[in-house]
């Protein structure tokens, strides 16, 4: 099996620690290892290092080498610039098709997720491998334990066995009332953003459902053949449709299977999500700083400075040295709006 780790994002909801110069997947926010390093370590009992690939933007190649010095340099697949998961996966599948038999299975996963129980995760890969062998496009659905509004959902249809179901449909992030109805129905799972398929299966799916991608891949392949894998493909790549693989392929395809998993998963997508999975003190505070606290609870603080909290609740305080974020915990998803505004205002030094 081949592993493809998608590591090209910026993680705007983790501003001000996550920056263009050091995005979220390179931060040590869960342990003394970066999230990218944790993701690779999770795979190693089953997949050899020489069969692990990282696809990332040109601007993050040197960071990837620094964090994964043991990864062969040719195992870094370079996007000229970030687009979305459909172009990213298509480019990678075309790259892998040059090195492997096209019947080889590939697991595709983000670089910045938490999975608490590694053995259960590895076992699910074996189940996925069996399903992918039958030319299915496989995704992994997380058993929900609360009505989350921050995740997309997968509605399971016909049962294949205790863990595998045919996909009925994908659902976008719901409002609370809809999420509660999903939880009550019992056949809706969180969309983990992890996939498995044979190289030839996903390339055929692009041909069937996003033919423009296939046309561009042919041009990229021709350039690779004539000028080598380090050729500048930015012009060709810029024509890719900027869509997620869920929308471009999975929502349209016929042979779709979801594997139900429950292994302590979180996409760690925001400061609140990180607070939720972090160890807390007796007042439900997470304090990564020297501190003094008076009548304050349910807060998340990350700072190299001494921090005093007096009479505050449900706050996020993040100090990066040159920027300070103070937000209500319930608004942590909106941190990306600050990044959008900084970009609009031309404050590049803060990005």
CB 302 within 8 A of CB 332: no
Distance CA 242, CA 85 (A): 8
Which of the four pLDDT bands, split at 50, 70 and 90, describes residue 70? very high
Q: Before 16, cis peptide (omega within 30)?
A: yes
pLDDT at 31 over 90: no
Say which residues have a Cβ less than 8 Å from residue 38's Cβ, sequence separation at least 6: 30, 31
Compute the distance between CA of residue 25 and CA of residue 61 in angstroms, rounded to an integer: 13
Answer yes or no: is pLDDT of 55 > 80.
Answer: yes
| Sign of the CA dihedral running 99, 105, 111, 117 | negative
Section 160-178 average pLDDT? 91
In this model, does residue 10 exceed pLDDT 80?
A: no
CA separation for the pair 274, 318 (Å, rounded): 12
247-302 per-position pLDDT tens digit: 999 999 999 999 999 999 988 888 998 999 899 999 999 999 999 999 999 999 99
C-alpha distance across the termini of the chain, in Å: 37
Per-domain boundaries in the chain = 2-266, 271-350
The span from the CA of 332 to the CA of 275, in Å, is 11
pLDDT of residue 13: 87
pLDDT bin (cut points 50, 70, 90) of residue 106 is very high
Is residue 195 predicted with pLDDT exceeding 80?
A: yes
- Which superfamily does 2-266 belong to? Spore Coat Polysaccharide Biosynthesis Protein SpsA; Chain A (3.90.550.10)
- Alpha carbon 55 to its chain centroid, in Å, reads 12
Tokens representing residue 261 in the block = 């998993």
Residue 220, φ and ψ in degrees, nearest 5: -65, -40
pLDDT for 151 beyond 90: no
Phi and psi for 101 in degrees, rounded to 5?
-60, 140
- CA distances 199 to 91, 101, 127, Å, are 11, 8, 17
pLDDT, one tens digit per residue, over 202-259 is 999 999 999 999 999 999 999 999 999 989 999 999 999 999 999 999 999 999 999 9
DSSP state of 114: E
Distance CA(128)–CA(105), nearest Å, equals 9
Strand order from edge to edge, sheet including 300-302: 286-288, 300-302, 315-319, 324-328
Alpha-carbon distance of 330 to 310, in angstroms, equals 19
pLDDT band at 197 (very low <50, low <70, confident <90, very high): very high
Report the pLDDT value the prediction gives residue 280, as an integer from 0 to 100. 94
């Amino acid at each position: 099996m081949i592993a493809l780790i998608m590591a090209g994002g910026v993680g705007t909801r983790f501003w001000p620690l996550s920056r263009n110069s050091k995005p979220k997947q390179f931060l040590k926010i869960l342990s003394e290892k970066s999230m990218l390093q944790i993701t690779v370590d999770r795979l190693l009992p089953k997949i050899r290092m020489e069969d692990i690939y990282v696809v990332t933007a040109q601007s993050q190649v040197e960071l990837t080498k620094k964090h994964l010095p043991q990864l062969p340099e040719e195992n870094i697949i370079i996007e000229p610039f970030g687009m979305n998961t459909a172009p990213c996966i298509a480019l990678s599948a075309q790259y892998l098709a040059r090195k492997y038999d096209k019947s080889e299975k590939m697991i595709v996963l983000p670089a910045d997720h938490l999975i608490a129980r590694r053995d259960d995760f590895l076992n699910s890969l074996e189940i996925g491998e069996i399903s992918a062998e039958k030319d299915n496009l496989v995704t992994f659905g997380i058993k929900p334990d609360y009505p989350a509004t921050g995740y997309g959902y997968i509605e399971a249809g016909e049962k294949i066995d205790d863990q595998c179901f045919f996909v009925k449909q994908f659902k976008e992030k719901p409002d609370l009332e809809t999420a509660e109805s999903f939880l009550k129905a019992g056949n809706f799972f969180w969309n983990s953003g992890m996939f498995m398929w044979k190289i030839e299966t996903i390339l055929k799916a692009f041909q069937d459902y996003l033919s423009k991608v296939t046309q561009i891949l042919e041009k990229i392949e021709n350039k690779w053949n004539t000028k080598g894998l380090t050729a500048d493909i930015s012009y060709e790549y810029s024509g890719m449709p900027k869509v997620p693989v869920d929308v471009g392929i999975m929502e349209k395809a016929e042979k779709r299977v979801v594997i139900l998993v429950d292994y302590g998963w979180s996409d760690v997508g925001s400061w609140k999500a990180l607070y939720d999975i972090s160890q807390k003190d007796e007042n439900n505070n997470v304090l990564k700083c020297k501190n003094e606290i008076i009548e304050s609870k349910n807060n998340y603080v990350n700072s190299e400075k001494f921090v005093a909290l007096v009479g505050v609740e449900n706050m996020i305080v993040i100090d990066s040295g040159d920027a300070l974020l103070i937000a209500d915990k319930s608004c942590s998803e909106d941190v990306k709006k600050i990044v959008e505004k900084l970009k609009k205002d031309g404050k590049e030094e803060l990005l």
